[in-house]
Structure 1
Amino acid sequence: MKIEQIRNATLRIQYAGKHFLVDPFLGDKGSYPPFPNSARQDQNNPLSELPVSKEQLVEGIDALIITHLHMDHYDEAAKEFLPKHLPLFSQNEEDAQVLRNDGFTNVNVLGEDTSYEGISLIKTQGEHGRGEILKMAGLVCGVVFKHEDEKTLYVAGDTVWYAGVQQEIDAHQPEVIVLNAGDNQFLEGGSLVMGKEDVLQTHQAAPQATLIASHMEAVNHWTLSREELKAFAAEQGFSDKLHVPQDGEAFEF
Structure 2
Amino acid sequence: MQFQQIRGATSIVTFGGQRFLVDPFFAPRGSCPPVPSPYNDLANPLVELPLPVENIIAVDAVIVTHMHHFDHFDAHAAQALPREMPVFVQSEKEAGDMRALGFRQVTPLAAEGVRFGEVELYRTEALHGDGVTAAYYYRKFDLPAEACGFVLRAPGEKVFYAAGDTLWFDGVQQAITTHRPQVIALNAANAQMYDGTPILMGVDGVREVAQAAPEAVLIATHMDAVNHARLNRADLRAFAAAEGLEQRLLIPVDGEILCL
Amino acid at match of 2:46: L
Distance in 1, matches of 2:84 and 2:197, equals 39
Counterpart contact for 2:118–2:155, Cα < 8 Å: no
Please show how residues 102-251 of structure 1 align to structure 2 within 5 Å. 102-111=101-110, 112-135=112-135, 136=138, 138-251=145-258
Distance in 2, matches of 1:82 and 1:44, equals 24
Counterpart contact for 2:134–2:197, Cα < 8 Å: no
Distance in 2, matches of 1:249 and 1:39, equals 29
Amino acid at match of 1:103: G
Amino acid at match of 1:68: H
Amino acid at match of 2:146: L
The 1:144–1:38 alpha-carbon spacing in structure 2 relative to 1, beyond 3 Å, is farther
Q: CA deviation at 1:188?
A: 1.4
* Residue-by-residue CA offset, 1:183-216 (whole Å, 9 max, x unaligned): 0012215111100110011000001100000001
Q: 2:99 matched to 1:100?
A: yes
Distance in 1, matches of 2:232 and 2:103, equals 35
Q: CA deviation at 1:93?
A: 1.0
Counterpart contact for 1:159–1:192, Cα < 8 Å: yes
Structure 1, unaligned stretches of length 5 or more?
A: none
The residue number in structure 2 matching 1:32 is 32
Q: 2:74 matched to 1:67?
A: no
Distance in 2, matches of 1:181 and 1:133, equals 20
Q: CA deviation at 1:38?
A: 4.4
Distance in 2, matches of 1:187 and 1:74, equals 22
SS at match of 2:237: helix
Distance in 2, matches of 1:192 and 1:230, equals 21
Query: What RMSD, in angstroms, separates the aligned Cα atoms of the two structures?
Result: 1.0
Q: 2:25 matched to 1:18?
A: no
Amino acid at match of 1:71: F
* Residue-by-residue CA offset, 1:207-246 (whole Å, 9 max, x unaligned): 1100000001101111001111111111111121000111
Output the TM-score relative to the length of structure 2.
Answer: 0.94
Amino acid at match of 1:16: G
Distance in 1, matches of 2:107 and 2:11, equals 19
SS at match of 2:185: strand
Q: CA deviation at 1:133?
A: 4.2
* Residue-by-residue CA offset, 1:157-179 (whole Å, 9 max, x unaligned): 00010111011000000000000
Counterpart contact for 2:217–2:249, Cα < 8 Å: yes
Distance in 1, matches of 2:125 and 2:250, equals 23
The 1:172–1:58 alpha-carbon spacing in structure 2 relative to 1, beyond 3 Å, is same
Q: Percent identity?
A: 43
Distance in 2, matches of 1:130 and 1:250, equals 33
Find runs of 4+ consecutive structure 1 residues off by over 4 angstroms. Answer: none
